[in-house]
Structure 1
Amino acid sequence: MAEAAPPPLHRGLPDEIAIWEILVRLPPKSLLRCRAVCHAWRRATTARDFLLAHYARQPALPLIYGLGRDIESLDIIPFDHRAGVATADDRLLSVARIGGPYVRPCISCDGLQGLYIGVDQLSIVNPATRQCARLPGFTVTDTHRPVGMYPHSLSGEYRILLAPRDPDDSHQLYTLGSNQPPRPIDIDGRVVDELSPFTPLLFHHSLHWCLDNMTTVFDTTAESFQEVLAPDGADQFMMDEIYGGALFEVDGMLGMSSLNAEFTSVGIWSMHNYESKVWAFKYRVELPLAELTMQFGKFKPYGWGVPSSWDGDVTMLLQFGDWLLQLDMDGKVVASLHRHKGLFPTQHLLKQTLVQHSFFPTLEGYVVNASPFI
């Protein structure tokens, strides 16, 4: 006699829909809680094909970091600017807190964060899985510094690009999980002092930096540099300052934004045809700077970004005093969030992932759900 089929995971709801239409769309924390419902859900949601599909559906949200008051710590906060988020405070929910002296962000990619903990200790962290490991040999006084991280499409490896301090030195590549030291690559490119103050955007298998009225591009497949001219009219904006330009992705296109010198408007361009590397001006957003300053305090130009929302809309994130403001393309305040001092926006992105990376256990000091996590 044939065995009876097991009951569905949810009465009246086919397993295929429950797993591949509902669970696969949940944020990581909610999905982890659902694994406790039954063995079948745990088994299905820990399979690699499910985890990859789950990761693909996660939004890439701009990161905000919060410095702890009573202890030395750093909160990793993806700013959820999507429509439908319940309250303003729900937009600033921390996904992890890292403890240690002088914690600061360095590089990020695919849900992974590179953080300096202490004076010279570079660590790789996955906030969603609470995995952390140290990268030996990386110090702030080295001749090379990390300026970007990316998945290498041909090998599947995660690599870190290191730029030299001396223009006569070569760039280097370090493979996560490798027991080999960084290998030099014979290419011409920017030195660390030019690249490290900026956050690169990974787009079309290339790292992009916006600086000096140029877009510097590192092709992660060919592992070579090229320069792309800034958009026409960009000279009216501050493309050469540390807070002057931002690159972002919207509707599958590369976007660029920049403040003008008076902080009263933002120019936004997009590259409709990436292969041609031609920019098109989209719009200028007028900022009611005097009105916002009177209501919220002094504008902090180093803490701003132009993220792309999950549904393709574009919103701006600006810091005024102790307030974090979300503005739409009409310059109107969508949300105002009052937080303690030490909260600062960045141009890093976090797309959370529960995918298990094989390199983690091979690294020094590998831990799960232990210090430096608080």
Structure 2
Amino acid sequence: MDGAATGSSNKVSSQAGASAHRVPDDNIIEILLRLPAKSVIRFRAVCTAWRRLLSDPDFLAAHSRLQPLDSILYDRLVGSGSGIINIALDTVHISSITSGDGTDRRQRLISVANSKRRPCILLSSCNGVFLFRRSEGCYLLCNPATRQWADLPSLVPSSLVREYAFYFHEPSGEYRLWCHRNPLDTRYGTWHVLSTDAAEPRDVQVHAEAAKRMTELLVGSLPVLLHGSMHWPPPHRRKWLEEEITTEIVVLDTLSETFQIMAGPPVTTVMEVAVKLFISMEGLLAAADLGDMWHINFWFLEDYDAWRWECRHKIDITWYNRRSEFLSGVMMGDDEGNIIVGRGSCFYVCNVRTKTLSMAYSVDSLPDNVIVSRHVYRQSLVQQPYFRAQSSHDLQLMHIWCK
């Protein structure tokens, strides 16, 4: 357990002791911190002291940090009427992927009613909160663990609205979404921030040349959040000669709301520049170089301030000739240092000891229905002041909150 979580648990223990005659000892608190969200909710009924403890904001924050990382799966269900398709979001934990016992341990979070004319699309996930796009310029936030939800301010649709960054802004306690709108009468479009504590979108001024650079770099890519900044991978470019390419990563500082360009890993490519970013289990920014025909090279940013990258692993993928498909999948690390790669209906494990790639887990019992998304999820019971706790029927798109 890390120091931050230990400090939070000690604080929770002392706070509970001040208000209860019988307080769980430190060992029990350590166990409670590692329970699934469902168990924490149920154990609040044990006694008054446990209700106070398991509802304390410091406990909930520490509990959220210790929750395991899950991958999100899309499950297309049977339609409930003309033009309606039910899309369920399932989770599968890393340990289930790497166990190798073939057991399907998927858990359902929510089921979404999708109209063919106005589909509700999952765009991102942050701190246990999902970002859905109801329609162009209209967004919904949803926490399946707390059954809370909130609307973001709406953008009046124009010729094109593109979402770039979704994150939690710690100083304000808000969830924020950065969008770029490209009306026909402007050269580079306009930038807007949508916040849970704002009634209207907020315009953001970005230098014209920087805006041009950003729209070229960011299209179609999913950023990762680290040290309070969003990071986008280098653009996907075709290269037909084997040569070393100096890559660049676009970074948005979410506190100052400014952009900069940082040095990416120096990839050696044969056919294309194809880089995917993710966060390693040890909390480092990591990059998978998918431009090599025979290997996946995994780079880790060892020194963030000096932008010093180190290539730790070179994984043999000679047998797998569709490596660029991993760009649209998910990547995450396990406790052994291995890297999990998901695409389609399968998960693969990049074994850092044997330097090989192998299929570890499949959800292809219904190959036309279940696919791996590019999103990860970590349960959180933290209550958000700008969210509402109401039934799923009030959302007008969620069929059920799954239990």
Q: Under TM normalisation by the shorter chain, which class is it?
A: 0.7 to 0.9
What is the deviation of 1:300? 5.1
Deviations 1:63-122 (A, max 9, x none): 333332334233223331127869544543222222232232113221111112356642
**355, 378, 387: which one pairs with 1:351?**
378
**81, 92, 113: which one pairs with 2:130?**
113
**362, 376, 397: which one pairs with 1:336?**
362
Q: Let me know the Cα RMSD of the aligned residues.
A: 3.3
What is the deviation of 1:130? 2.0
What secondary structure is seen at the aligned counterpart in 2 of 1:231?
strand
Identity over aligned pairs, percent: 23
Deviations 1:127-163 (A, max 9, x none): 2112223334246646543211222243333221122
Question: 1:260 — aligned with what?
Answer: 291
What secondary structure is seen at the aligned counterpart in 2 of 1:59?
coil
Give the Cα separation in 2 of the matches to 1:141 and 1:162. 12
Which AA in structure 1 matches 2:195?
T
**201, 204, 212: which one pairs with 1:181?**
201
8 Å contact 1:209–1:216 — kept in the other structure? Answer: yes
Specify whether residues 62 and 281 from structure 1 end up closer, same or farther in structure 2 by C-alpha distance, changes over 3 A only.
same
Structure 1 window deviating more from structure 2 (114-123 vs 86-95): it is 86-95
Q: TM-score, normalised by structure 2?
A: 0.75
Which AA in structure 2 matches 1:81?
I
Specify whether residues 120 and 168 from structure 1 end up closer, same or farther in structure 2 by C-alpha distance, changes over 3 A only.
closer
Specify whether residues 299 and 224 from structure 1 end up closer, same or farther in structure 2 by C-alpha distance, changes over 3 A only.
closer
Aligned length: 350
| Equivalence map 1:167-206=2 (5 Å) | 168-187=188-207, 188-189=210-211, 190=213, 194-206=217-229
Give the Cα separation in 1 of the matches to 2:95 and 2:30. 20
Deviations 1:236-268 (A, max 9, x none): 47435xxx5233333121101132364x43111
Question: 2:11 — aligned with what?
Answer: none
What is the deviation of 1:202? 0.5
Structure 2 unaligned segments of length 5 or more: list them: 1-19, 236-246
What is the deviation of 1:42? 2.6
8 Å contact 1:148–1:161 — kept in the other structure? Answer: yes
**276, 279, 283: which one pairs with 1:248?**
279
Deviations 1:270-289 (A, max 9, x none): 00000011211111111253
Structure 1 unaligned segments of length 5 or more: list them: 1-5, 9-13
Give the Cα separation in 2 of the matches to 1:269 and 1:28. 34
What secondary structure is seen at the aligned counterpart in 2 of 1:180?
coil
What is the deviation of 1:234? 4.2
8 Å contact 2:330–2:376 — kept in the other structure? Answer: no
8 Å contact 1:131–1:369 — kept in the other structure? Answer: no
Structure 1 segments, 4+ long, off by >6 Å, are: 83-86
**320, 326, 333: which one pairs with 1:308?**
333
Q: TM-score, normalised by structure 1?
A: 0.80
Specify whether residues 118 and 225 from structure 1 end up closer, same or farther in structure 2 by C-alpha distance, changes over 3 A only.
closer
Specify whether residues 42 and 90 from structure 1 end up closer, same or farther in structure 2 by C-alpha distance, changes over 3 A only.
farther
Which AA in structure 2 matches 1:183?
D
| Equivalence map 1:121-132=2 (5 Å) | 121-132=138-149
Question: 2:92 — aligned with what?
Answer: 79
8 Å contact 1:79–1:92 — kept in the other structure? Answer: yes
Which AA in structure 2 matches 1:133?
A
Specify whether residues 34 and 269 from structure 1 end up closer, same or farther in structure 2 by C-alpha distance, changes over 3 A only.
same
| Equivalence map 1:1-374=2 (5 Å) | 15-17=24-26, 19-71=28-80, 72-82=85-95, 88-101=102-115, 102-117=119-134, 121-138=138-155, 141=158, 143-165=160-182, 168-187=188-207, 188-189=210-211, 190=213, 194-212=217-235, 213-236=247-270, 238-240=272-274, 244-260=275-291, 262=293, 264-287=294-317, 289=319, 301=326, 303-309=328-334, 311=335, 313-319=337-343, 322-329=345-352, 330-340=356-366, 341-361=368-388, 367-370=390-393, 371=395, 372-373=397-398, 374=400
Give the Cα separation in 2 of the matches to 1:134 and 1:155. 17
Give the Cα separation in 2 of the matches to 1:126 and 1:15. 28
Give the Cα separation in 2 of the matches to 1:30 and 1:87. 25
8 Å contact 1:152–1:158 — kept in the other structure? Answer: yes
Specify whether residues 20 and 267 from structure 1 end up closer, same or farther in structure 2 by C-alpha distance, changes over 3 A only.
same
Specify whether residues 163 and 121 from structure 1 end up closer, same or farther in structure 2 by C-alpha distance, changes over 3 A only.
closer
